[in-house]
Amino acid sequence: MSILFEVIATTVADARLAAQAGANRIELVTAMGEGGLTPSVGVIEAVVAAVDIPVNVIVRPHSRSFVYDADDYAVMLRDLRAVKAAGANGAVIGMLNAENEIDREGLARAIDAAGGLAITFHRAFDETRDRRKALDVLLGFDAVTNVLTSGGQASVLSAEDSIRELVRQADGSHCTVLAGAGLTVEAIEGFVTRTQVEAVHFGSGVRVGSNGLAPVDPAKVTQVRTLLDRASGN
């Protein structure tokens, strides 16, 4: 089975380089240094037109927290409709309540506004008080096809046991555990072998100098693709 390989893009050039070098999917963001915020409609339309692989777009109005007020939701719902209209494959969202649990009502409203887009619940998941319980909540939403997680750690490489448990919990469901944050070319093959993840997410790890603000390095993307194929026996 092939392991899905998602790469963060912040520009059209990033997306093109990643797609040509073997990425399966793009996560399109702006402000990568803030953990990713909603990109402009112009960028979304241009990236969708530039690549033949699916483009998932983050919808995150600010980086203050993952607890949103009524105005934040009004903005996100408009952005979700714009992402759909721009031809994206999916939306990347995440919202919590004041108790650091998944905001089910807010998630339901966002899914409705997304109009059938594939939904990835992003690393707001890692700030939940109980990740097993949070994953159970997400498994109750058919539209949520991925959960992006670092297993609650700054780097997913420090959370192999947590990731393995989440993969087991999601096994056989409509939702894939997408492991990300801190992955490197050097560590990827051992990581996927030990955790049995079926999808990985790279940002800085496939950029020039491993710098989040630098362009995508196609040689690193190709290297990761080769290692993933080897790990999965393809």
What's residue 36's pLDDT?
A: 96
What's residue 28's pLDDT?
A: 98
**Mean of pLDDT values over 198-224:** 97
**Mean of pLDDT values over 164-172:** 98
- Integer CA distances (angstroms), 136 to 68, 87, 170, 214, 234, in order: 22, 30, 9, 37, 31
* Residue 1 pLDDT > 80: no
* Total domains, the chain: 1
> HSE-up of 3 (CA within 13 Å, CB side)?
29
SS3 178: strand
Which residues does 167 contact at the CB level (< 8 Å), separation at least 6? 177, 195, 196, 197, 198
* Residue 107 pLDDT > 70: yes
Residues 124-133 pLDDT 10s = 999 999 999 9
| Per-residue pLDDT band at 233 (split at 50, 70, 90) | confident
Alpha-carbon gap, residue 144 to 119, rounded angstroms: 5
Residue 77 sits in a domain whose CATH number is: 3.20.20.380
Domain that holds residue 30: 4-231
By the 8 A CB rule, do 65 and 93 touch? no
What's residue 234's pLDDT?
A: 66
* Residue 138 pLDDT > 70: yes
By the 8 A CB rule, do 8 and 203 touch? yes
By the 8 A CB rule, do 135 and 141 touch? no
* Residue 42 pLDDT > 90: yes
Residues 136, 189, 57: CA angle, nearest 5 degrees: 50
Tell me phi and psi for residue 127, to 5 degrees. Answer: -95, 0
Residues 53-97 pLDDT 10s = 999 999 999 999 999 999 999 999 999 999 999 999 999 999 999
